[in-house]
Amino acid sequence: MSKTTQENPAVENSAQETVSNTSKATSAPSKSADATPKAASTATKTTRPRSTSRSTKSTASSTSTKVAPAKTTKPSVQQDKSMSQNTVRRVAIIGGNRIPFARSNGAYFTASNMDMFTATLNGLVERFNLQGQRLGEVVAGAVLKHSRDFNMTRECVLNTQLAPETPAYDIQQACGTGLQAAFLVANKIALGQIEVGIAGGVDTTSDAPIALGDGLRKALLELNIAKTGKDRLKALSKINVKDLMDAPKNGEPRTGLSMGDHAAITALEWGITREDQDALAASSHQKMAKAYEEGFFDDLITPFLGLSRDNNLRADSTAEKLAKLKPVFGKGEAATMTAGNSTPLTDGASCVLLASEEWAKANGHEVLAYLTFTETAAVDFVGKKEGLLMAPAYAVPRMLERAGLKLQDFDYYEIHEAFASQVLSTLKAWEDEKFCKERLGLDAPLGSIDRSKLNVKGSSLAAGHPFAATGGRIIATAAKILNQKGSGRILVSICAAGGQGVTAIIEK
């Protein structure tokens, strides 16, 4: 989504309408399409000064095929409406839901990806009274999937009370999956192709997709087509004990190094200290514990399998306690990364409800915030030109340039804490004149941020990190923060495997 949601059609302010209070467990009953006001025929564009003349044009089909919904289905508002190619709408964040995140091989040991994401969707459906509604689409994914997870998101939708006519499909971009899913839904809403959709993600490392080893698999395939006894014996003779099983590997295919090993290299390059990492980790736990005590997450979480809050959270965490842990990544005395300042393997799922302002108004839902700008970047970590997890450092300045903003123009910053060292390396890079000039092509450093505005409700070091589910958690948290504040702007940043970074701006 380039500058999609900055160009805003004149949609009547819905402040005077009855809207759902998202701090409560239930919302106003959904309305049918019959009660929907017509879309404005002209658009009033609100623009910001841009620091560059670059622009990205979005296009949409000027016609659409109208299909009469089944009598038992409640169509979402103006789902089949045609739009002109020049109409680009704001994308509203209506709310989110997730199940508590759980450390691997614990509370969710018996739960599958489908179990967890279905529970997450059901919670969202109940919270926003979406029963029987045909939504534009549901987009989600998982990084670790079994063969049985074929068409996973669609199967999960069919497990819910959403109308079975709701389309759904899977995506995957490592840790950026959940956020990228939101971009896909948002783009279609912005272009008028759909009015409402759900984006999300799920992952389990407890129910790991352990499969037949490649050697055994090929031998069995050869056995399947064998015509004679001799051919069958020949196929079976190729089976090697070492080839019996294939399990997910904690390493980058191109380097063989784990994400933690890569992060340790980057931490060393940027001179990130153990003390600073432990301080950031302790702060994340303390902030999230406080948010739970204040009830911030009450309308963002659906209890699941006996959990009502993230079980990785340590309310009594301190830098002093974390300092006692031994390093698990890096080598020798220079090693600074521990299990305490790195995210653990985690199971969980999340999703967010996105819509046009018209849909929100017609269905009586409050708009928490808007998804306004997005950017995805990748770096060459294979050629050792950049650290594996440093792509957000490149994505953010590109996004800021298009938005006409400075790094300091944000009320809060939601930066995914894959490792404390990754967050600190990124922040240090933005402060570094040489990095910003030589690698980002900027005239001056982006500068520093107010650290008191960073991850104010805690982040991944406290909650845990089910790979594809982190994006949905962050979007829902950021939107609620802005809604409670009444206005503002939040920068969202997520690093991902494969040297990728996914970033966004959320505003109200």
Active-site positions read 175, 465, 495
How many angstroms separate the Cα of 281 from the Cα of each of 247, 258, 263? 30, 20, 15
Rounded CA separation 499/176 (Å): 11
Instruction: Show Cβ contacts of residue 225 under 8 Å, excluding neighbours closer than 6 positions.
Output: none
| Residue 192 DSSP one-character state | T
CB 446 within 8 A of CB 436: yes
Rounded CA separation 464/52 (Å): 38
How, if at all, do strands 412-415 and 245-246 pair?
A: unpaired
Residue whose tokens read 């998804």: 371
First CA to last CA distance, the chain: 17
Rounded CA separation 440/395 (Å): 10
CB 272 within 8 A of CB 336: yes
| Residue 206 DSSP one-character state | T
Rounded CA separation 379/190 (Å): 29
- Tokens for 171? 């995506």
Q: Which string of b and e fits 391-421 if b means at least 16 CB within 10 Å?
A: bbbbbbbbbbebbbbebeebbbbbbbbbbbb
| Residues 22, 143, 134, 42, CA torsion sign | positive
Residue 496 one-letter amino acid: A
Rounded CA separation 216/493 (Å): 41
> Whose CA is closest to 176, among 425, 396, 392, 398?
392
Residues making up the chain, counted from first to last = 508
DSSP labels, 268-283 = HHTT--HHHHHHHHHH
> Whose CA is closest to 248, among 143, 164, 382?
143
